[in-house]
Amino acid sequence: EPIKIADGAYLLQGFVSRFESGFDQRLLDAIEAVRLQAPFRHMVTPGGYTMSVAMANCGRAGWVTDRKGYRYSEIDPTTGLPWPAMPEVFLQIAQSAALAAGYQDFVPDACLINRYEPGARMALHQDKDEQDATAPIVSVSLGLTATFMFGGLQRTDKAKRFKLEHGDVVVWGGTSRFNFHGIAPLKTSMHPLLGEQRINLTFRKALADS
Ligand code: MD3
Ligand code: FE
């Protein structure tokens, strides 16, 4: 029952809870372990803006931005240490979702963890920093519902809006991989497991060799 939302993009509603009862809590426990080693931080864009989304990473490579640009780094600039290893439960959910969408050999080497508090947003952008463009990106939404904006290959293409709820997974492959997308400012609300926040995991193959 994946819902096709674009060429190569599939929405798997409630995938986390259907995968295994209580798996959302296992993911949250793993996030707590990662953040002890790689704290959430508000990164600065090359243009000098501090992002409203707080970020951390795990896996071999992590996405970072600063005044010098966007890139993947094997070292966390905040700690000077390698990023924490990808938790087994992260790999399990990412690979299982990729398989459900028809991608059989997805081995992510990076997981970006985005934390949205009320008012936080992500402006329309494309994901172009990964070296392997054939691999899909798998996103897992946890906590408060967000309004996702999904545009086309040009910034000016009109964006469709849809909701991403706790436990929803989206697999982005094919040409959808390069569509503009973003998250509207998070509305204040309360989630039973996460309180006033939304956490999104995005699994990627960032490096050419791993
Ligand atoms: C469509 N994150 O981290 S997840 C990002 O909810 C990012 O935190 C948003 O965009 C979030 O880059 C959206 C859904 C998503 C992720 C990657 C995509 C949609 C995508 C890549 C290509 C097209
Ligand atoms: Fe993105």
For the CA of 63, the nearest atom of ligand 1: 3
Nearest CA to ligand 1 atom 3: 202
DSSP classification of residue 191: B
Task: Give the tokens for residue 156.
Answer: 């000016």
Residue 33 CA to ligand 2 center (angstroms) comes to 24
Using the predicted structure, report yes or no on whether residue 210 has a pLDDT greater than 80.
Answer: no
* DSSP-assigned states of every residue in 68-115: TEEEEESB-TTTSSBPPPPPHHHHHHHHHHHHHTT------SEEEEEE
Pocket test for ligand 1, best of 114, 157, 199 (most atoms within 8 A of CB): 114
Is there a domain that residue 210 lies in?
no
pLDDT in the model for residue 176 = 93
- Tell me what the mean pLDDT of segment 89-117 comes to: 98
Domain count, the chain: 1
Residue given tokens 């990473």 in the structure block: 57
The DSSP result for 35-46, as a single string, is HHHS--B--B-T
* pLDDT reported for residue 80: 98
**Token pair for 173:** 């492959």
pTM over 0.90: yes
Ligand lying nearest the CA atom of residue 201: 1
Give pLDDT, residue 167. Answer: 98
Quote the domain boundaries for residue 42. Answer: 3-204
Q: Lowest-confidence range among 1-10, 17-26, 27-36, 75-84? A: 1-10
Compute the distance between CA of residue 74 and CA of residue 83 in angstroms, rounded to an integer: 7
Instruction: Report yes or no on 209 lying in a domain.
Output: no
pLDDT digits (tens, 9 = 90+) for 54-70: 999 999 999 999 999 99
- The answer to whether residues 41 and 55 touch, using CB atoms and an 8 Å cutoff, is yes
CATH of the domain at 26: 2.60.120.590
Which pair of tokens denotes residue 65? 């931005």
